[in-house]
Each structure stands twice: as C-alpha cells, then as structure tokens.
Amino acid sequence: MAILPTRRSLLAATTLAGFLPAIHLRPARSAEPQALRIPELIDARRQGQSVALRAQAGRTIFFPGGPASRTLGYNGSYLGPTIRVHRGDEVEVAVANALGVGTTVHWHGLLVPGPLDGGPHQMIAPGATWRPRLPIRQPAATLLYHSHVHGGTAEQVYAGLMGLLLVTDEEERALGLPFDYGVDDIPVVLQDRQFEEGVLVLPGGMPAMMLGRRGDTILANGTPDAVARPPAGLVRLRLANGANARLFDLSFEDGRAFHWIASEGGLLERPVPLRAIRLAPGERAEVLVDLSDGRPVALRTAPDTNLPMMGMMARMGGFAPNMTGEGQTVLRLEPRLTGQAAPARIPGRLVSRERSDPSQAVRRRRVALTMGMGMGGMMQGEMGGGMMGRRGIGGPGGAMGGMHGINGRPFEMGRIDARIRLGDVEIWEASGEMMAHPLHIHGVHFEVLGRDGGPADPRDQGLRDTVLVRGPTELLVRFTQPAPDHAPFMLHCHVLEHEDNGMMAQFVVA
C-alpha cells in the first residue's frame, strides 16, 4: 500500500449526498470586496423564550455575479442566525430537520445535561423536530451551534450547518462593552473553503481524512473578501474559528495591538493586550480593537502550517494552496467617521472568577489524540495494509471509519469510554500526535494548568471548552453537568474529519 497519495486522490472529491459537485479545476478567484454578511440576530427573550431553527438545503452565491453553490444552512442557505440567550432563562429551541438526511444540532460550549447537548446520540430524523429546553446557567460568552451527526459532521458543517450562540448577562452589560450587534459588536465566523469557478466544492480523498478539509478561500460569515464598516471607535469582534481543520493566526496588517477580553468560557478577569491571536477550529475569542483613528485596516491570517509530514506531499499535489506565502486577509475594517469619535476606553478589569484548585482533582486521565497513520504506527510498520486493512478503511477516497482514535482506540457509538462522578474535578493530560489537534470536551469548562511540564501560555488563561494540544497539556476539568448512558458527552478533536474518523470518545457523568 503506497504511502504517497496519488495526484488523483489528492484532487478527487466526494459528493455530499448530492449537495456538492466534485473538484475538476483550480479555482478562478475574484477579489471584489463584499460587505460582511451579518447573520440575523434572534434574541430568545424577545420571542417568549422560543426559537425556531430549520436545517435546510439551499443555494448560495458566494461571489458577486457568480454561480450558485448547493449549501446547507439553518433558516437560510448557508450558516444560521445568531441566537442570543440570557443567563437565568430557559429557552426552548425547536430544531426542524428539512435536510432529507439525519442531523443533530450541538450547542458547543453550552453547559447543559447530556440529553440536551445535541451530540451524535440526539439524532433528528428527516422531517422530525427536536425540542430541547435549554437552561442558561453560565456567564456571558460566545458559543457555537453546529451539526454533530455521527460520521457526517465534517460534510454537514463544511456545507454550512453552523451558527453562533451568544450568552449575555447583567455582569457583561454593566461593563459597557460594545454591544450593538452587527454595528460595534461584530460576529465573525471564520472558515476556509475550496471553490471551483465560484462553486463550493468538497475536497476528498486521503488528504481530507488526514489533514482535514481545507481550502484556499477564506470566508467571514460566508463572505469572501469581506469588508465591515463599523463606526470609528472601539469595536468588539467575536471571532470564531468555524473551519473544519485550519488554524487562523490572526493579526492586523499594521501590527496594531488589540485587547483579548473573552475566552471560550466567557470574559477574562482583565483585558490582555496582544498583537496576534491563534484560533483553532472550535475556538472563539472576543477582542476589542480601537478604530478611533478612522484608518482602514485588514485583519490577516498567517499561512496554514499545522501539518504533519503529509503536508509536504499534499503541497506538491496542489492541495490547500495557502500553506505557504504571505497569508491572507480575512476581514477588512473600514471605519466610518461619525464626527464624534471619542477615544476608546478599555475597561481595566472585567470580571472576577472563582478558580478551581488543582488539589481538588480526584484523578488523572491521559487523553492522546492519535492518528491512524501516526509515527507510532509507522515505526511499527503498521500503517499500510496493517492498520487500514484491520479497520476496514477502503483506502484513499474510500469510506471513512475508525482511522484515528483517542489513546489509539477509534470511536464507537456503543462503547462508553469513561465514567465520571458528577461534581468531580479531574486532571486530564492531553496530547496530540503528528500535528496540533484542537481537543474539545462537551458539557464542561476547563482550565489549562500547564504545557510540556511548564506553566501555561498567556493565551491559555480563562475557562475553555476547546484547546489546541500537541505536547502534554494539563487540563483541570470540572464536571457539573450530568450525562447518562443513553446521552453521554463527547470529547474529540475539532478537526472535523479527525472526529468523524474516530478521534472521539464518550463519557457519562453521574
């Protein structure tokens, strides 16, 4: 069995239940600036705590004057509305599945019991409606919702099934942070996608399974070459990495500093001045950027470098062309001078949070995110026919299954991998094989205690639900939500192709 993927397999594409066509040619890029699309805001309180979502197929024109692509969305053709919920409320969401295939909707980062979580066990059959009542019991934060259907998450999310879920509370409002949705409080879902002649296509084959699907075009809320025109002043960006696999290493083209104010779990204790911020798939960061000088500025990402040795071969094959070079613009900000631009005021303190004490931890667990073609496997000569044959993978472009794993074991829907006591605190030692992997854990917030035996990075502070790991990373995890055997929580790599191909495990909390 050849290690090197053939050119055919590099460029081959599979079709998503007929939604997306196969790849034929290299894309023709237009670089016409377009206004950043702002997803509709649904505030649950303004609608009697009831929100309706409909997962549906549609057609989306990504480039002005270009062709329509077949896409998926919630209440629209690509992505979904932004849902705002208030701490202390209880919100019923009715999720109707009009896709014609099964789906689920997972509330990524929301602390709710297992049966409400929307993971692979809460399947919504075609034509059915799922009605979880979500108790909102956590501080203000920027969360996601997205498809989490077993084995098909990567394709459904790639095609558009993702949206933002914002939690707000009194504590956040009292700080006077920018809060005018779409004006000075701007949602930015970042994704990379591959297009052919303006049509969204689904990369397939072995590189997709190994590296995750990546593309040469960056979308912000589904908009390529996006431009936002906020008022000159202090602007809050809610950055969410909604890509299937790629990291975004974000900075402003003029090198200006900005303030990081919220991690995945919500506001930090104080704003952290940064000049660059890395966001892995599933991660979010809220930042404040001072645009009071009125000068336009581009938010850029560095090239995509999170690749195992496969990446070199993939590059030769023309896969994911933005791995090298200068990086790309993800969003241009063109401030509107409104005449009374007051100099921006950044609050000195944000919130105080109770920290967990590592000495409360009752046990340690090792969580290694392992790749089927990992170095371990290669050195034991297990890679080719061995591992792949044994696990029934059809080879490049073939059916995906349990190629990757957690601690070497591919995910199985019927197997509970850990049983945890409700209320316990544990230390998890996470690591990633061959490349950095974004580990996401359902139903919890955790803190990063340290990396590689040393202290945590400044970017590790705050409560999180997703963290990028490579070397050994210690997490302090508190289990506050119950999850029974029939509705366990997932822990997985948020490279969605890794998740779909076995890099996931499940645990019950009782």
Q: Which is nearer to ligand C2O, 87 or 148 (CB)?
A: 148
Under rule CB under 6 A, which residues in 277-306 are in contact with ligand C2O?
A: 282
The binder of 282, among ligand C2O, Cu ion, none, by C-beta within 5 to 8 A per type, is ligand C2O
Alpha helices in 149-298 (DSSP H): 153-159, 170-174, 205-211
Torsion over CA: 261, 349, 176, 356 (sign): positive
Question: Helix (H, G, I), strand (E, B), or coil: what is residue 38?
Answer: coil
The binder of 148, among ligand C2O, Cu ion, none, by C-beta within 5 to 8 A per type, is ligand C2O
Should residue 495 be labelled a site residue for Cu ion when binding is judged by CB under 5 A? yes
The binder of 498, among Cu ion, ligand C2O, none, by C-beta within 5 to 8 A per type, is Cu ion
Start-to-end C-alpha separation, the chain: 45
The binder of 70, among Cu ion, ligand C2O, none, by C-beta within 5 to 8 A per type, is none
Kindly list the distances between the CA atom of residue 250 and the CA atoms of 190, 191, 244, 275, 276, in Å, as whole numbers in the listed order.
11, 13, 17, 8, 5
Strands 50-61 and 248-252: unpaired
Q: What is the DSSP letter of 253?
A: T
Question: 175: closest CA among 353, 352, 350?
Answer: 350
Strands 223-224 and 217-220: antiparallel
Should residue 508 be labelled a site residue for ligand C2O when binding is judged by CB under 6 A? no
Q: How many residues bind ligand C2O (CB under 6 A)?
A: 11
Should residue 437 be labelled a site residue for ligand C2O when binding is judged by CB under 6 A? no
Region of 64-72, 170-178, 372-380, 438-446 interacting with Cu ion (CB under 5 A): 438-446
SS (H, E, C) 100-158: CCCECCEEECCCCCHHHCCCCCCCECCCCEECCEEECCCCCEEEEEECCCCCCHHHHHH
Should residue 445 be labelled a site residue for ligand C2O when binding is judged by CB under 6 A? no
Applying CB under 5 A, among 37, 87, 442, 492 the residue interacting with Cu ion is 442
Q: Which is nearer to ligand C2O, 286 or 465 (CB)?
A: 465
**Minimum distance from residue 243 beta carbon to ligand C2O (Å):** 12
Q: Which is nearer to ligand C2O, 37 or 146 (CB)?
A: 146
Q: Residue with CB nearest ligand C2O?
A: 108
Question: What amino acid occupies position 385?
Answer: G
**Minimum distance from residue 108 beta carbon to Cu ion (Å):** 4
**Minimum distance from residue 107 beta carbon to ligand C2O (Å):** 9
Under rule CB under 6 A, which residues in 94-153 are in contact with ligand C2O?
A: 106, 108, 144, 146, 148
Torsion (CA) 221, 264, 147, 493 in degrees, nearest 10: 110
Should residue 488 be labelled a site residue for ligand C2O when binding is judged by CB under 6 A? no
Partners of 418 in beta bridges: 507
Applying CB under 6 A, among 404, 445, 492, 498 the residue interacting with ligand C2O is 492
Query: Would you tell me which residues interact with ligand C2O (CB under 6 A)?
Result: 106, 108, 144, 146, 148, 282, 440, 442, 490, 492, 494
Residues that bind Cu ion (CB under 5 A): 108, 437, 442, 493, 495, 498
